[in-house]
Amino acid sequence: MMMAAQNEINSGITAKKISGLAVISYAVSIGICIVVLTPLLITVFAAFKAPAQLGLDFPLMPPRPIFFKNFEQVFRDGNLVVSFKNSFFLAGMSVIFNALMGSMAAYCLNRFDFRLKRLIFGLFFLGMLIPAYVTEIARFGIIKDLGLYNTIFAPIIIYAATDLLQIYIFLQFIQKIPLSLDESAMLDGCTYFGIFWRIIFPLLLPATATLAIIKAVDVLNDMYIPYLYMPGSGLRTMTTMLMAYSSSMYGSWSFLSAAILVIMLPTLLIYLIFQKYIFAGIVAGAIKE
């Protein structure tokens, strides 16, 4: 009886400790949600308010009535067609070059043994450790000497560079592909490039789809590189258009909020639609059987 009573007391103390930790974790989670969602709610409410109403109401008060003319002005004066075309062209070309260069680099690093293999692998790591802004002056000079400044091809060359995440994920997938497939193809007279293009690359489609979605969202959200290398008005992307629009419409927070929602919508839809493929591709590449 004494042991049973003691066990009940201990279990009660443990339950109180667990419930206390749960309360703390819930409180922290709620606080993080408030910090993240409050600016978003303010932006959404401001986009549907008239300029006069925006100055009178509390920022977190819903719009009454809903005002749609902010969006009409954004579509009329924001030159959205050109910015959307430039943004998706950059994203599409960057995804294509990234997929080819990343998969080829991973294929060479996995299937071939050569003297400088470890050095090249280390250089990829070193490139990830050095901030991009440190080499910005040298990169800008190279782009200008190539005659690509203020053209849409300058960001494509920069975005096309392979990164460690791509090579790592591609390597995980290639390691699962048995070498017997390569040997069988070579017996049939297939070259190394033929093995890659006909056997390896088709089997990398899950990883390619995952990295393509991540890269596309990253390019669509980038403002720094298009703003620095494509300053022309006809080369504006969605993000640089938003910057120019905010400068010309200084003080018009309702118009600026409407423009932010319009620019945010494509990348948000892409992520929501394809998020399961992103996580599935990363997990599939991280598991070895």
Q: Is 32 in the same domain as 63?
A: yes
Q: Is there a single domain that holds both residue 163 and residue 86?
A: yes
Q: Pick the closest to residue 80 from 241, 188, 226, 223 (CA basis).
A: 241
* pLDDT, average across residues 89-93: 92
> Given this model, what pLDDT does residue 93 score?
92
Residue by residue, DSSP assigns the chain as: -HHHHHHHHHHHHHHHHHHHHHHHHHHHHHHHHHHHHHHHHHHHHHHTS-HHHHHHS-TTSPPSS---HHHHHHHHHS-HHHHHHHHHHHHHHHHHHHHHHHHHHHHHHHH---TTHHHHHHHHHHHHHS-GGGGHHHHHHHHHHTT-TTSTHHHHHHHTS--HHHHHHHHHHHHHS-HHHHHHHHHTT--HHHHIIIIIHHHTHHHHHHHHHHHHHHHHH--HHHHHH--SGGG--HHHHHHHHHHHTTT-HHHHHHHHHHHHHHHHHHHHHHHHHHHHHHHHHH---
* 131-145 mean pLDDT: 85
Question: Any idea what the CATH number is for the domain that residue 101 is in?
Answer: 1.10.3720.10
Of 49, 67, 85, which residue sits at a domain end? 67
Domain limits at 34?
2-67
Question: Same domain for 63 and 80?
Answer: no
Contacts of 45 (CB under 8 A, 6+ apart): 59, 60, 61, 62, 63
| Average pLDDT value for residue range 110-131 | 81
Q: In terms of domains, do 151 and 248 share one?
A: yes
Same domain, 281 and 256: yes
Same domain, 172 and 106: yes
pLDDT at 57 over 90: no
Decide if pLDDT at 2 tops 60.
no
In this prediction, residues 168-175 reach a mean pLDDT of 85
Instruction: Specify the range with the lowest mean pLDDT, choosing from 7-21, 38-52, 267-281.
Output: 7-21
Torsion of CA 85, 86, 88, 92, to 10 degrees: 130
105 and 37 housed in the same domain: no
Whether residues 60 and 82 fall in one domain: no
Select from 36, 67, 98 the last residue of a domain. 67
Asked if residue 125 has pLDDT above 70, the reply is yes
Phi-psi region of 147 (alpha: psi -120 to 50; beta: other; left: phi over 0): left
8 A C-beta contact, residue 160 and residue 92: no
The residue that leads in pLDDT, 191 or 135, is: 191
Provide the greatest CA pair distance for the chain.
88
Most confident range, picked from 11-25, 189-203, 239-253, 269-283: 189-203
Q: Are residues 90 and 62 in the same domain?
A: no
Question: In the predicted model, is pLDDT for residue 89 greater than 90?
Answer: yes
Q: What are the tens digits of pLDDT across the range 20-36?
A: 777 888 888 899 988 88
Domain boundary, last residue among 67, 87, 103? 67
Say which range, 29-33, 123-127, 154-158, 170-174, has the weakest mean pLDDT: 123-127
Contact (CB, 8 A) for 222 and 158: no
| In a shared domain, residues 229 and 260 | yes
Please report the pLDDT score of residue 252 as a whole number: 73
Cβ burial of 73 (10 Å; 0-12, 13-18, 19+) is middle
Q: Considering its fold, how many domains does the chain have in total?
A: 2
Does 61 share its domain with 80? Answer: no
Same domain, residue pair 270 and 144: yes
pLDDT value of position 281: 55
Across 122-151, average pLDDT: 84
